[in-house]
Structure 1
């Protein structure tokens, strides 16, 4: 009886099998991290919407090339996750952690985020606040995407 309970729990905890041809979650997370960074760079350029779209599309193509991922495969993977919001939430939880770690590493290496003008060391108060900023921006984007998806589902 004990063995059957272990078997039951192990089956319940099995990872969900992804459809063939999709990117693994870890790789998708890395790609999305780079894409979100590119998006932030474009937003900071304060370009006209048309120009910003062209620049962003070019940067996204460079990210996909860096990872050796065809655009169709990325689109197929992202579409799968848009239709499986619980799985997308897990991806974005991982994405928030990834971006937070990247920012902490950047700040600790002397990047200008959270830097005092005359110091080579990060301002610890600002460095601690920055990950929350990233999290809040990403969470806002995720919430907006969810709302759009809910409205699309309602229309269907």
Structure 2
């Protein structure tokens, strides 16, 4: 009978320790807050890359995809995340749909909040740096505003 009590106690301890890590992400996987920020910025970068400006009315899909790859790599560099770390983390989140849903809902809420906070079309005469700070408040070091024009390229850094 004593053996049964010890076995039951050991089983309960294992069960308690196994349940204790339910809200944690494994080592090597980005935590939900960081994954949310990276996915948000990647989403914005992709939208920016898909945007066709009036000076380039026709852009081939392959060029657009290369532009998006460049922006995406710069977003990952901005957050100090390697491509491997991101793909591993994203695969883990895909394997845990409830966690991925939570992250994607936060991304969507953040983008909607930024859209609602962005100036309306009447305020588009404001300087580009001001408009851009509303959308990308932490990316001032990564911005390139060309001299004498109002060209905005938020994910391209100066090449030295």
| TM-score after normalising by structure 2 | 0.57
Which ranges in structure 1 are unaligned for 5 or more consecutive residues?
1-10, 108-113, 121-156
CA distance in 2, matches of 1:54, 1:35: 14
Among 71, 84, 87, the alignment partner of 1:59 is 71
Among 101, 114, 120, the alignment partner of 1:89 is 101
Q: Which of the pair has more CA radius of gyration?
A: 2
Aligned partner of residue 116 in structure 1, secondary structure: helix
**Deviation (angstroms), 1:105:** 2.8
**Deviation (angstroms), 1:74:** 0.6
Change (3 A) 1:64 1:117: closer
Whether 1:115 and 2:121 are equivalent positions in the alignment is yes
Structure 1 counterpart of 2:92: 80
Which runs of structure 2 are paired with 1:1-156 in the superposition (5 Å)? 15-45=22-52, 47-107=59-119, 114-116=120-122
Output the aligned Cα RMSD: 2.5
CA distance in 2, matches of 1:13, 1:100: 34
Output one character per residue of 1:122-150: Cα deviation in whole Å (capped at 9) or x when no partner. Answer: xxxxxxxxxxxxxxxxxxxxxxxxxxxxx
Which ranges in structure 2 are unaligned for 5 or more consecutive residues?
1-17, 53-57, 127-160
Output one character per residue of 1:31-72: Cα deviation in whole Å (capped at 9) or x when no partner. Answer: 111111111112212631211111111000100111111111
**Deviation (angstroms), 1:102:** 1.8
CA distance in 2, matches of 1:88, 1:15: 14
CA distance in 2, matches of 1:99, 1:67: 18
Change (3 A) 1:82 1:47: farther
| TM-score after normalising by structure 1 | 0.58
